[in-house]
Every structure is written in C-alpha cells, then in structure tokens.
Amino acid sequence: MNENIEAINLRVQALRAAIELHNYRYYVLDNPTLPDAEYDRLFHELQQLELDYPHLITASSPTQRVGAVPLSAFSQISHRLPMLSLNNAFDAAEVEAFDRRVREGLGAACVEYAVEPKFDGLAVSLCYENGIFKTGATRGDGNTGEDITLNLKTIKSIPLSLPVAHPPSILEVRGEVLMLKADFLKLNQRQLARGEKEFANPRNAAAGSLRQLDPGITANRRLTFFAYGIGLHDDAQMPTDTHSQVLNYLGRLHFPVARECRVVSGLQSLLDYFDAIAMQRERLPYAIDGVVYKVNALAQQEKLGFVSRAPRFAVAHKFPAEEAVTELLAIDVQVGRTGALTPVARLKPVFVGGVTVTNATLHNAGEIERKNVRIGDTVIVRRAGDVIPEIVSVIVEKRPANAHIFVMPASCPVCGAKAVRLDGEAVSRCTGGLFCPAQRKQAILHFASRRAMDIEGLGGKLVDQIVDQAIVRTPADLYRLGIAALANVERMADKSANNVIAAIESSKSTTLARFIYALGIRNVGEATAKDLAAHLGSMDRLMQASSEQLMQVPDIGPIVAQSIVDFFAEAHNREVIEQLRACGVHWDEHAGISASAGVVSPLNGKTFVLTGTLPTMSREEAKEKIEALGGKVTGSVSKKTDYVVVGVDPGSKYDKAMHLGVAILDESGLASLLGSSTILNE
Ligand code: 9MJ
C-alpha cells in the first residue's frame, strides 16, 4: 500500500512537471509541443488523482491556479526591497542629458546599457520561497502593495514553482502584468456581447482583471506577465555582473522576458533602439509606452545609486503621439454648451495611443474641407497623450467610389433651431440659445450671473443638478421654482434653498441692459447690451429691429446685428422671453435714443464721475441709469469730464472737479437730468 502511495505521489509530481512545462512552452515560449487534447488528458488525470488522494494536493499544483473562493478585501504586503519607479525622458535631448549624467557619474567615456521595451501594464512583485510561488503584490506605494497572490496564480505564464534542483530560500521577481492586445480585443467583444462595459485599453483591462476580489473572474481574463528585474534574494545562482545576465537567468527560471531586450553601448545606440522599437510598436503583441534604458553593469548601477525612489542608472524614454490608419464610417454633429456645432468622425475602432478610438473631432466644416475628408475615406488618426483623437489626414489613394461629401446641417440636431455660420466665423451655431437642451446649463448659468440677472447662489453645481433632474429647462422655469422643488435637490439645506428663491425673486426687478445681456445672444456682451438698451429703449423694439436698424446703434456692425436678428427669429427664444415677462421679470423702458428722432438725451455722449455715497440711489443704479440714457461713467476726473455727481463723504475727485471747474451735481441734480430726458423723450 505504501509503495502504491509512493508511486502515485511520483506520478502526481511527474504530471505537475509536465503540465507546468507545457504551460511554459505554450504561454511563455509561444511554442507548444503537446497537442491540446494530450494536455487536457494529463490535467484530468492529475485532477482525478488529487480528488482520490486529497492529502497530495499542494498550493503550487497547477490544478490550484483557479478555484479559490472570493476575498472580501485585499490585505497588504510589504516588499522586502522597495519597488522603484523610473524617471522619464520625453525626447532625445533628455536622453542625452541622462547619458551625460551617467558618464559623468561613472567617469566613463561610453557606457553599456541593457535596453528593454517599457510595458504599459501593472508592476507587481512575485515572492518565491524555497522555489514555490508564495505571494504576489501590486507596487502600491513602492514599500507596501496589495496581496493579489490568488489572482496572480491564475496567470499561466507565472511559474508556480521554479524549475531548479536547489532553489533559493527567497527570491523576489519584479515585472509587469498586462493583457495582450489580441486578448484585450477578444475580451471587449465578449463584454459587448454580454451587454457589459468595454475596457478603454489593455492596461485598464489588465488592472480591472487583476484587482478582482474573485480570482474566478481573473482566471477568465487572460493576463500575461513579463519579468524585468529582481528584488531581495539569496540565490547563489544569480548572476552578479550585469542586468542582461539577470534577465537571461530569469528566462532560465521560466519567467517570460521580453524578446526585444538588447545590450547596446553609447547614446546613439539608445536612440536607434528607441526608433527601432517605435517602428515595431504597432505589431508588438502588447501595448508599450516607451523603452527603458538601464546601465548594464550591476557594479556601475550601485555606484550611481538613487535619487529618492528612482534609480540614477535607468530612465524610461516615452513615446510621443501615436497615429493609426482606419476608416471614417460617418460624420455626426454634436452641439456644445455654447451652441457650437462640431462635426465628429465616427471611426472603425482602431487601437491608437494606447486606447481604442472610435470617434475623432473634425472641429468645423472648414477643417473638413481643408483636410478633404469624405465619409467612407481611409484616414490617419492621431491620439497624443490624453488629448481628443483627431484626423490627421486622408489617404486619398484609398478613397472608395461611394465616398461622399459631408454637408453641415441647416438646423441644430438637438433642438431643431436654425443653425447659422456667421461671416468670418469657423463654426456653425445653433440659434436656440434659450431652449436648446444642449445649451441649457450654460444658458441658465449665464442668465443668473452677477452682471446679468445677478441671482446669488445659483452656481454651477446647483444648475447641474436642477437641469439634470429636469426641474429647470429654460431661464423662465427659474421663476416658477418652489422651495419644495429646490429642497429636493441633493445637499440643499432649507436655508440656502430659501436664499436662492429670494435671490430669484429679487432679480425680477432689473434693467433692460441686464436683461438683454442675460439672454446670452451670441456676440452681445455687456457693453453691447447697454448700447442696445440705451438706443432702442424697449424689448419689443429690440425684438423687431432689422439688421439695418440695429446697425444704427454705435459700435454694432453686421455680425452682431445678424446674431441678434437670428436669435429673435427663433420662436422658442421669443416664447421664453414672453414667459419671463409673464413671471414678473420687469425693467424700466423708455423711448430710446435712436427712436426719439431728433431729440437728444441731455446725457447722451456725456461723461460722468461718481464720488461719495448718494442718499437714495446705489452707485450701480446711478451708473445704469446714466448709461441707459447714453451717458458714460468713468473712474477719474479730467478736463473731459462733463459732470461729477457728489454724494456724502466725497473723495478727492470732488476737489479735483472744483479745481478743474467741472460741473457738479448732487443726487437731486442728477435725478432732474435723468427725469428731463424722460420728459424730452415722451
Ligand atoms: C517596464 N514597465 O516595462 C522597469 N519596466 O525597472 C521595465 N519597468 C523598471 N523596467 C526598474 N522594463 C523600475 C521599473
């Protein structure tokens, strides 16, 4: 019986060795020598023996890669030697500076480097005790990481036991876990088929898979590991001369090591290696974001040492923007917060700059013309860093016969209002500013802003919430808001809800200039709004004014005039204005300067300076009234000042006015001047 058990134990060990060897050939060397069916047979035989003789099961048996129960949280693991980070170089000059520092540090004319691809994955440390994989951890803060042992065990290219007769008692192996591009694409297809979210790039997919508390999920996402260094060890076999020897040794221990690792000498060879890997990048089976240069001699590494957490002997040379070729399937139009219509290219998904890109901005119709882009074209897409992908150019030779020209829509795809492209402007814009859903937040924020309706407390966060919850759709809805609706908004205390309601209520009493400005008409800023109010004097006159009439107002040219006409041509905009009035928003109207044919306001073109506190009017109020009648308010007194309006406790402006002989008014003097203009105009 004992003999029998001994024989079974030997068989179990032989099966494990054969299975692990096959894993190595299959997953690391990519060169299987055993048919799949034979592998399955060995695996089943081992499973059956372990079922019959459970005491023979060990944690490092290949049957134990999967099957652990989910964890409730990851525990922490301290790295026995800290995990380093690398400094980056973004161009040849920075690499040159790195090489110079290294040469100066070593007093050497030319240095030998081990060069490697820089994997875009997750750094991990694997700890082997007496040749058995015991624990594995993320990099964490470099000193302490998360214990992801069970997940790492599911990665078939990580050996569970070291294939050596006399393993070291301790060996930490450092490297990167990643998902091969092919596995990433398959995973995303599966996610799509199951109606689950696709991953943006292989790095995210690898991270998402590795940080699963359920190793069963990790096991279903094929991950890969590449070793690039060691931590603490007492391995007598470990080479002591060079980094490249260490990598070769790790390879002999059956760890995957990048095939592209090389040993080179001198700065130029670093840059050549960078160029060579950049050329191969697209075709490499894994995502990389640069290359790594490490001083090869370990004695030299030690001599150079570290600056904080990063070694002086190594640098990561990162890739710049990346480009790829794909097909432009369609051009959609998006409407931005300000009403700008932006054409967006829908692309056949393409892997570029580390992510799968499906859309690219085309900016505007002019850009489409300039780049000669047609729907159906083969295009070069660029994604540099984290910026929005863009179309670089068209490969005209590949244009299919049915490629067609894009035409900018005449109406807003969101609200249906007329879309216009003004002379001299690159973009088309939606004219439905007050009701277009795409522009709601922006329109309401602007409407409430201090220089417009001045509704205190109605800021970005609150507007986000009331619009997202469909409590408010247009500025008019603000005046129909009840406390109850506001109190429902998250984190809104009763007191602040009351304050906002009070601020909305008091904003009802405003000036025509503020109201015009608040409408957010394209090209109508505060100064233009004041000019319009002063010269037209009433909302109805503004709404009915033709482009020619508007151009009678000083400083208003054809572009501004057209923007105004377009805005009021939208029935929905006019409706919102009617609703605002119906809700009680009001202002003083007057006949206006232009309208009062021949009669000139005594304030028109006159310059005023205000000083001291006026008894009943606020400074702002006085300023608005003066400006509404064509006067100008400036900050300092000069010979050109026509009137200085003096209140209580006037400043030095009063003395200066006396000195220069400028006319001085008190509040009642100003009031009669303002009043006389009304009389004149009536
Ligand atoms: C990557 N990410 O491929 C290192 N790395 O060396 C390579 N990272 C590294 N080496 C020391 N190839 C710290 C990090």
pLDDT per residue over 120-169, tens digit each?
999 999 999 999 999 999 998 899 999 999 999 999 999 999 999 999 99
Q: What would the two tokens of residue 64 be?
A: 């134990």
The predicted structure's pLDDT at residue 29: 82
> Per-residue confidence at 679, pLDDT binned at 50, 70, 90?
very low
316 CA from centroid of ligand 1 (Å): 8
The predicted structure's pLDDT at residue 261: 96
The predicted structure's pLDDT at residue 246: 98
Q: Which residues are catalytic?
A: 118
pLDDT at 599 over 70: no
The predicted structure's pLDDT at residue 682: 33
Q: Region 205-229: what's the mean pLDDT?
A: 91
Torsion of CA 513, 514, 518, 522, to 10 degrees: 30
Q: What would the two tokens of residue 511 be?
A: 């000036």
pLDDT digits (tens, 9 = 90+) for 614-662: 988 888 888 888 887 778 899 999 998 999 999 988 889 999 999 998 9
Q: Region 339-359: what's the mean pLDDT?
A: 89
pLDDT at 677 over 60: no
317 pairs with which residues across the strands?
Answer: 89, 291
pLDDT at 319 over 90: no
105 CA from centroid of ligand 1 (Å): 22
Q: Which atom of ligand 1 is nearest to the CA of 288?
A: 3
pLDDT at 181 over 60: yes
239 CA from centroid of ligand 1 (Å): 19
pLDDT digits (tens, 9 = 90+) for 232-268: 999 999 999 999 999 999 999 999 999 999 999 999 9
Contact 374/344 with Cβ under 8 angstroms?
A: no
pLDDT digits (tens, 9 = 90+) for 3-57: 688 899 999 999 999 999 988 988 888 777 878 888 888 998 999 999 999 999 9
Q: Which atom of ligand 1 is nearest to the CA of 121?
A: 2
610 CA from centroid of ligand 1 (Å): 68
**Mutation test residue for ligand 1: of 79, 176, 244, the one with most atoms within 8 Å of CB:** 176
Contacts of 283 (CB under 8 A, 6+ apart): none
Question: Which amino acid residue places its CA nearest to atom 1 of ligand 1?
Answer: 118
The predicted structure's pLDDT at residue 519: 96
Lowest mean pLDDT among 70-84, 176-190, 436-450: 70-84
533 CA from centroid of ligand 1 (Å): 66
SS3 78: strand
Q: Using the 8-state DSSP alphabet, how is residue 389 labeled?
A: P
309 CA from centroid of ligand 1 (Å): 13
Question: Which amino acid residue places its CA nearest to atom 5 of ligand 1?
Answer: 118
129 CA from centroid of ligand 1 (Å): 23
Q: Which atom of ligand 1 is nearest to the CA of 85?
A: 13
Q: Residue-wise over 225-238: b if at least 16 C-beta within 10 A, else e? A: bbbbbbbebebeee
Which candidate, 139, 169, 175, 141, places its Cα nearest to that of 157? 175
The predicted structure's pLDDT at residue 386: 58
Rounded Cα distance between 168 and 186, Å, is 38
Max avg pLDDT among 199-213, 401-415, 591-605: 401-415
Rounded Cα distance between 591 and 490, Å, is 46
pLDDT at 286 over 90: yes
Cα 408 to Cα 331, 332, 348, 405, 624, distances in angstroms? 10, 10, 22, 10, 42
The share of the chain scoring above pLDDT 90, in percent, equals 63
**Mutation test residue for ligand 1: of 178, 228, 260, the one with most atoms within 8 Å of CB:** 228
184 CA from centroid of ligand 1 (Å): 22
Query: Is pLDDT larger for residue 475 or for residue 434?
Result: 475
Number of C-beta neighbours around residue 495 at 10 A = 8
Q: Region 475-499: what's the mean pLDDT?
A: 84
> Per-residue confidence at 330, pLDDT binned at 50, 70, 90?
very high
The predicted structure's pLDDT at residue 597: 42
Question: Which amino acid residue places its CA nearest to atom 11 of ligand 1?
Answer: 84
Say which residue the tokens 């329109």 belong to: 443
- Catalogue the long-range contacts made by 478-484 (C-beta closer than 8 Å, 24 or more residues apart): 478/444, 478/447, 478/448, 478/504, 479/504, 479/508, 479/580, 479/583, 479/584, 479/585, 480/583
Contact 79/125 with Cβ under 8 angstroms?
A: yes
Q: Which atom of ligand 1 is nearest to the CA of 123?
A: 2
pLDDT at 596 over 50: no
> Per-residue confidence at 676, pLDDT binned at 50, 70, 90?
low
Rounded Cα distance between 123 and 84, Å, is 10
Cα 43 to Cα 61, 296, 533, distances in angstroms? 11, 41, 86
Rounded Cα distance between 140 and 156, Å, is 23
**Mutation test residue for ligand 1: of 292, 293, 313, the one with most atoms within 8 Å of CB:** 292
20 CA from centroid of ligand 1 (Å): 26
Q: Region 92-106: what's the mean pLDDT?
A: 97
495 CA from centroid of ligand 1 (Å): 55
Q: Are strands 144-146 and 643-646 parallel, antiparallel or unpaired?
A: unpaired
Contacts of 279 (CB under 8 A, 6+ apart): none
Contact 291/273 with Cβ under 8 angstroms?
A: yes
Rounded Cα distance between 392 and 367, Å, is 11
352 pairs with which residues across the strands?
Answer: 355
pLDDT at 321 over 60: no
Query: Is pLDDT larger for residue 554 or for residue 14?
Result: 14
Residues with CB under 6 A from ligand 1: 84, 86, 116, 118-119, 176, 228-229, 292, 314
Q: Region 63-83: what's the mean pLDDT?
A: 84
Contact 174/231 with Cβ under 8 angstroms?
A: yes
Question: Which amino acid residue places its CA nearest to atom 12 of ligand 1?
Answer: 118
The predicted structure's pLDDT at residue 681: 36
Contacts of 63 (CB under 8 A, 6+ apart): 43, 46, 47, 50, 57
Task: Compute the C-alpha angle 621/624/627, nearest 5°.
Answer: 150
Mean pLDDT for the chain overall: 90
Lowest mean pLDDT among 355-364, 511-520, 592-601: 592-601
The predicted structure's pLDDT at residue 67: 60
Question: Which amino acid residue places its CA nearest to atom 4 of ligand 1?
Answer: 228
**Mutation test residue for ligand 1: of 83, 119, 203, 274, the one with most atoms within 8 Å of CB:** 119
Which candidate, 77, 207, 87, places its Cα nearest to that of 143? 77
Strand order in the sheet with 122-129: 132-138, 122-129, 170-178, 224-233
Rounded Cα distance between 672 and 397, Å, is 77
Lowest mean pLDDT among 97-106, 285-294, 436-445, 587-596: 587-596
Q: Which atom of ligand 1 is nearest to the CA of 119?
A: 3
Rounded Cα distance between 146 and 78, Å, is 9
